[in-house]
Amino acid sequence: MKRYLEKIIQGNSLTVAEMMEASEYLFQEQTSDSEIAAFLVALKAKGESVDEIVGLVNVVRKHALKIDTTATNMLDNCGTGGDGSKSFNISTTAAFVMAGAGVTVAKHGNRSISSKTGSADVLEHLGVRLDFTPEEMKELLEMNGIAFLFAPHIHSGIKRVMKVRKDLGIPTIFNLIGPLTNPVDLDSQLLGIYRRDMIETMALAMNKLGRKRGVVVNGAGHMDEASLAGENHLAIIEDNQIKLITLTPEEVHLPVIPNAEITGGDSKDNAKILRSILDGESSVFRDTVLLNAGLGLFAHGTANSVQHGIELAAESIDSGRAKEKLDNLIHYSNKGAIAK
44 and 8 Cβ atoms separated by less than 8 Å: no
Q: Which amino acid appears at position 116 of this protein?
A: K
Question: What is the distance between the alpha carbons of residues 105 and 174, in angstroms, rounded to a whole number?
Answer: 23
> Is residue 232 marked as binding?
no
Question: What is the distance between the alpha carbons of residues 149 and 171, in angstroms, rounded to a whole number?
Answer: 23
Question: What is the distance between the alpha carbons of residues 146 and 109, in angstroms, rounded to a whole number?
Answer: 13
> Is residue 242 marked as binding?
no
Q: Which of 90, 79, 149, 74 lies closest to 301 in space, CA to CA?
A: 74
β-pairing verdict for 232-238 and 213-218: antiparallel
> Is residue 109 marked as binding?
yes
Q: Which of 128, 139, 138, 162 lies closest to 334 in space, CA to CA?
A: 128
> Is residue 200 marked as binding?
no
How buried is residue 120: exposed, middle or buried, by Cβ count under 10 Å (0-12/13-18/19+)?
A: buried
SS3 124: helix
> Is residue 192 marked as binding?
no
Q: Which of 17, 27, 14 lies closest to 164 in space, CA to CA?
A: 27
SS3 65: coil
> Is residue 319 marked as binding?
no
> Is residue 83 marked as binding?
yes
> Is residue 170 marked as binding?
no
> Is residue 153 marked as binding?
no
> Is residue 23 marked as binding?
no
> Is residue 66 marked as binding?
no
> Is residue 177 marked as binding?
no
> Is residue 318 marked as binding?
no
> Is residue 113 marked as binding?
yes
> Is residue 6 marked as binding?
no
Question: What is the distance between the alpha carbons of residues 20 and 105, in angstroms, rounded to a whole number?
Answer: 28
Q: Which residues are annotated as a binding site for anthranilate?
A: 79, 110, 165
Q: Which residues are annotated as a binding site for 5-phospho-alpha-D-ribose 1-diphosphate?
A: 79, 82-83, 87, 89-92, 107-115, 119
Q: Which residues are annotated as a binding site for Mg(2+)?
A: 91, 224-225
Q: Which residues are annotated as a binding site?
A: 79, 82-83, 87, 89-92, 107-115, 119, 165, 224-225
